[in-house]
Structure formats: structure tokens, C-alpha cells
Amino acid sequence: MPVWSAMKGRASILSDFLAELEVPHTTGASDAAFDSMNFKSLFGFTRLLGSYGIESVVYRLADNSAVTSIPTPFLAQTKRGFVIVTGHEDGHVDYKFLGKDYTVPASDLTDSMTGVVLLAYPDEKSKEPDYGKHRFLEIASRVKLWVLVLCAVALGVFGFMEAGLWRNVSTIFLTAVNLAGIGVTWLLILKSLKVSSNSADKICGILKEHGCDTVLEQKASKFFGLFGWSEVGFTYFTLSTLYLFLFPQYIGCLALINGCCLPFTVWSIWYQRFRLHTWCTLCVITQCLLWLQFFCFLSGGWWSVAFANIVPLVAMGAGYVGVLLALNRVMTFIENRIKN
């Protein structure tokens, strides 16, 4: 019978429990403390709570129905592992399991309980060891991320203005489509790596529940069996954006490269519809963005200069291949680390 249940990529039960107890803590440090817990048992957990200045007591109930009379929050052991009971009223129980909140009839919980419960008693002095230091580092990490985002936005705006893309409606829309493509294919990469993402899960469920996972697990989801289509898409939209900002005079080459991608969109839709009989919403959005790109190039008249510069076209193609190879090595490294 499991004692603790955990899921990669989300907060530990310790962090969730501390949040319910309203004890000052940081998720990163608390998760690390839980992962490094010397004794993966109730004894180890009570000792860990003690390091936060929280007294705790473990009981075995003679009658599981008594759970509705215990002050919340507390931990209750079930067949799946410990859950955090957060409330009980009118014959129903609220509890948290793996970060998700549930409300069930009290009998549903009591039937699955082992009778073991853990009660915690924090006071005004209870808090994470070195909380001030950890909190500062947590805030600094968030600020660092926002600074990175602001710098990327500033560079993007500068490149957009400097390239003169604002002068033409087609290039304005083309830039927007490229940026959307980067975002969508990034979510596809997260799905390929099985990294938890609420945004990706919500979008993928629009057309078919778990459709993205089904499609991405197929052998056909890899280009020549080597590169995931998510990698190809992310490389394509990212470099297309950079080329557009840095070399707007060669936009005709980008139109030609986009045209070479369109047959793939037809095959992808056909494969999902008639072979898999399911839909990857993120994949479908990507195909739509490729066609929106095509119409942007077409409406702007950029196809008229598509064959004017062959040498830059070859150089751009080499860039796509080089970045794709580099991204593939990074993806392979990450996948191996995740498996190990």
C-alpha cells in the first residue's frame, strides 16, 4: 500500500499541506526537503514537520466515520496514499490529492481509508527553516524570469521596427502568426517531453481528450524517424521570425520555404482523420498557422520575388537544418535525463 503519492512536475504533499496550514514556506525548498526526507514514512514526515516548528500526532481511528469530527486540515491515509482533508460538512468531505481538489460523500473517503490520520498543530513561530533566504531567492528567480521576458520583448519590438515590418499589413500579420507558431510549437515540445503544462492540456482537450498524447506517441510524429514534428515546427517558426527581423529583404525566400511546408499540412490532417481517427489540437493549430503564413505572403505579393535570391535561400535552409540538429540533441538529452 502506498504511503506517499507523488507526480513529477508538481508540488509535493508537504508544500500542499503547509499551504493549507498557512505556514510560511517556499514551494521549491519544501519540495526539496520532502524529496530528501531520510525516512519515507510517517515518522520521517513528522520529523520533517518538526523542523518547521510544527507539532504533529498520528492516530489510528477505531471507526473511520470519526474523520468528519476531526478539525481540518489533516492527513488521512487511503489506498492511493495520503490525502489532505480540507473540510467536511453536510455528509461530504473536501480533500486535496496530487494538487487537485475533490468533494465526495464522506462514505467514499471512509471506505478507502486505512484509519491512519496525521494531525498538525502549527503556531505563530512555525515556518520553513531559512525561510527569509529562500523567499528572497524565490522572488529573485521570478524577477529574473520577468527581466528575461522584458528583454526578449524589447529586442523583438526593436527588430520589428528596425526591419520596417510595421509599414506593411501583410508583414504585421505575418509577425503575429510567427509568434503564435512559436508559442504553439513550444507547447507541443512540452507535450513531447511529457512536461506538465496546464495550457497545453486545456488546448489539447478542445478537439479530442488526450488526442495530442495519442498523436505524439505515433512513429509518424517523427520526421524521418529522427526529429519530432514539434522540434521541426519550433525550429521553423523561431528561425522564420529571426530571418524576418534580421533579413526582411529576403522575405521572398521565406515565402518559398513556407510553400514547401504546405504539403505536410495536408498529409497531417489526412493522417489524423483517416488513420488515427483522433485529433491533436496543437497540431491542427500549427497547420492552420502555416496556411495563414501562406496567405500573408500571398496578399503581400512576396511570392513574386520568391526565386529572386537563391544563395540566401540555401543559407537559410542550412540555418534551419543546423538549429534543428542542435535542438534535437538538446531534446534527446532532456528525454534521457527524464527517463533516468
Residue 133 has pLDDT above 90, yes or no: yes
Q: CA dist 84 to 14, 64, 150, 295, 313, Å?
A: 10, 15, 39, 53, 59
Average pLDDT over residues 305-317: 85
Residue-level pLDDT at 238 = 93
The grid coordinates listed for 49 are 514537520
Residue 7 has pLDDT above 90, yes or no: no
Percent of the chain residues past pLDDT 90, beyond the cut: 49
Q: What is the pTM of this model?
A: 0.65
DSSP SS3 for 238: helix
The grid coordinates listed for 60 are 489510528
Residue-level pLDDT at 3 = 62
Q: Which of 39, 15, 19 is nearest to 27 (CA)?
A: 15
**Please, what is the average pLDDT of the chain?**
87
Given pLDDT bands bounded at 50, 70 and 90, which one contains residue 193?
confident
Given pLDDT bands bounded at 50, 70 and 90, which one contains residue 75?
very high
CA distance 325 to 240: 16
Between 35 and 223, name the one with better pLDDT. 35
Domains delineated in the chain: 13-121 (3.90.70.10), 163-339 (1.20.1440.130)
In which residue are the cell numbers 526582411 written?
248
Percent of the chain residues past pLDDT 70, beyond the cut: 94
CA distance 287 to 18: 44
Given pLDDT bands bounded at 50, 70 and 90, which one contains residue 218?
confident
pLDDT tens for each residue of 104-122: 999 999 999 999 999 999 9
Given pLDDT bands bounded at 50, 70 and 90, which one contains residue 141?
confident
CA distance 79 to 2: 7
Residue 2 has pLDDT above 70, yes or no: no
Please, what sign has the CA dihedral across residues 76, 78, 83, 87? negative
In which residue are the cell numbers 515540445 written?
189
Residue-level pLDDT at 292 = 95
Residue-level pLDDT at 190 = 86
pLDDT tens for each residue of 42-56: 888 999 999 999 999
8 A C-beta contact, residue 127 and residue 53 = yes
CA distance 256 to 238: 17
